[in-house]
Amino acid sequence: MGNTSSMLTQYDIEEVQEHCNHTFSQQEIVSLYQRFCQLDRNGGGFISSDEFLSIPEFAVNPLSQRLLRMLNGLNFKEFVAFLSAFSPRASLQHKIEFIFKVYDSDCNGKVTFSDILDILRDLTGQFISEQQREQVLTRVLEESGYTKDSALNISDFMKILGNSGIRMEVEVPVD
């Protein structure tokens, strides 16, 4: 499976399914493998930041730089595991853990007011003022029992987002 020019065996597919908690069907994994091979232009078995940025939808995503931190140098199995958070079959916990990793920019296991504000800045750009962003974030935190000085861990994130009905889904075309 390391060489992208080879075909996936049934064992490889099942191994990848197990690795991503069966969030993708076997057909979806085959489709993802084909896409992975297209992105892995040098055939080294890994996708670089530049290769990810060749995807127009990814390149224009306001969070692309944060996501690249999680993506650079992924092999196929890691690529599928990364995408599994976007599967309709992924658990809410898996989705929230993914979001937490995006927000935790310094990978210290804590998300601060400043971390969340940075994301809001990336997502809203010039559409709302810094003061409005801070007010909204302060209100959301206070309604959840936290303050601007709170350093949120993954359990806190689960508490805040656990009843939010988060929908992060991507459709994997199956030929």
pLDDT in tens, 117-145: 999 999 888 889 999 999 999 998 898 89
* Domains held by the chain: number: 2
Is 19 inside any structural domain?
A: yes
**Are residue 116 and residue 58 in the same domain, yes or no?**
no
**Are residue 82 and residue 97 in the same domain, yes or no?**
no
- Decide which of 9 and 6 is more confident: 9
CATH assignment of the domain containing 83: 1.10.238.10
Is 174 inside any structural domain?
A: no
Q: What band does 169 get if pLDDT is binned at 50, 70 and 90?
A: low
Among 90, 124, 154, give the residue marking a domain's end.
90
**Are residue 84 and residue 18 in the same domain, yes or no?**
yes
3-state secondary structure 74-97: ECHHHHHHHHHHHCCCCCHHHHHH
Q: Distance from CA of residue 42 to its chain's centroid?
A: 24
Is 54 inside any structural domain?
A: yes
Q: What band does 167 get if pLDDT is binned at 50, 70 and 90?
A: low
Closest CA relative to residue 39, chosen from 27, 50, 26: 50
Is 121 inside any structural domain?
A: yes
**Which stretch of 23-27, 122-126, 159-163 has the lowest confidence by average pLDDT?**
159-163
Among 90, 118, 145, give the residue marking a domain's end.
90
pTM of the entire structure?
Answer: 0.80
Question: Which domain, by its residues, includes 105?
Answer: 91-167
Q: What is the pLDDT of residues 55-114, one digit of tens each?
A: 888 888 888 888 888 887 889 999 999 999 988 888 888 989 999 999 998 889 999 999
**Are residue 47 and residue 64 in the same domain, yes or no?**
yes
Query: Is residue 119 within 8 Å of 102, Cβ to Cβ?
Result: yes
pLDDT of residue 71: 81
**High-pLDDT (> 70) share of the chain, %:** 90
Among 26, 56, 90, give the residue marking a domain's end.
90
**Are residue 48 and residue 103 in the same domain, yes or no?**
no
Per-residue pLDDT at 34 exceeds 50: yes
